[in-house]
Amino acid sequence: MQDPNEDTEWNDILRDFGILPPKEESKDEIEEMVLCLQKEAMVKPFEKMTLAQLKEAEDEFDEEDMQAIETYREKRLQEWKALKKKQKFGELREISGNQYVNEVTNAEKDVWVIIHLYRSSIPMCLLVNQHLSLLARKFPEAKFVKAIVNSCIQHYHDNCLPTIFVYKNGQIEAKFIGIIECGGINLKLEELEWKLAEVGAIQTDLEENPQKDIVDMMVSSIRNTSIHDDSDSSNSDNDTK
């Protein structure tokens, strides 16, 4: 009887038609496959490693791996430098009036600068500083600074505080002057984030204005008042006829 595992053209044809079962792999081939899989399992996927992990694992790679790793390491290093350059702020910094020009007006090209002029004696100013400090960490690509108003502008009226100026390339792109424009005494973090996002200073992940419901309610109230006034006016005209 012919051996079904024999390497013959006829047996190959029968295997193609499913008449003979697939050829059994030799023990050596199976062992080689197992060893290959074990070796692959031992090699760490350097594409998912940090630069520090790559440094620690250098002894585990062969020469071919090291060439690929060196290329990948250089790519990761460039990405890291680009990220650090983009995210070089990350905090609300205090500046003085004599730093205003360098830090704000002459800030780096295409960098958004948010400056808060404040007095620590005004509660709303302290609230804005708290919010800006959190936003500075959330949006490190933007530059957030604060300055005591007297160091920048003499005799600035308290009614104008808090004051937030938004700069880009030396130009004021937006300004919020006084409690109302800054969002009111109950200003929430998300509301200030939305204000800054609306003028382009930051890229928010908020999907809609946090004050949308309040705005809709105010618009509805104004509309209803207008309709009521028009109705009263119409009735008054009819009574005089």
- Report whether pLDDT(128) > 70: yes
179 C-beta neighbours (distance < 10 Å), count: 20
Mean pLDDT of 192-203: 97
- Report whether pLDDT(124) > 50: yes
Q: How confident is the model at residue 99 (pLDDT cuts 50, 70, 90)?
A: very high
Q: Residues 183, 153: contact at Cβ < 8 Å?
A: no
% residues pLDDT > 90 (the chain)? 49
In whole angstroms, what is the distance from residue 126 CA to residue 148 CA? 11
- Report whether pLDDT(240) > 80: no
- Report whether pLDDT(60) > 90: no
184 C-beta neighbours (distance < 10 Å), count: 13
Question: Domain residue spans in the chain?
Answer: 93-204
Q: Residues 162, 124: contact at Cβ < 8 Å?
A: yes
Q: What angle do CA 208, 89, 151 make, to 5 degrees?
A: 95
For residue 43, the model assigns a pLDDT of 47
- Report whether pLDDT(214) > 60: no
15 C-beta neighbours (distance < 10 Å), count: 14
In whole angstroms, what is the distance from residue 234 CA to residue 3 CA? 107
Architecture of domain 93-204: 3-Layer(aba) Sandwich (3.40)
DSSP run (H or E) holding 131: helix 123-138
List, for residues 140-187, the tens digit of each pLDDT value. 999 999 999 999 999 999 999 999 999 999 999 999 999 999 999 999
What mean pLDDT is reported for the chain?
80
Q: How confident is the model at residue 77 (pLDDT cuts 50, 70, 90)?
A: confident
Q: What is the DSSP string of 183-235?
A: T-TT--HHHHHHHHHHTTSS-----S-TTHHHHHHHHHHHHHHHHHHHHHHHH
- Report whether pLDDT(78) > 70: yes
% residues pLDDT > 70 (the chain)? 60
Q: In what order do the strands lie in the sheet with 171-177?
A: 92-94, 143-148, 112-118, 163-168, 171-177
- Report whether pLDDT(204) > 70: yes
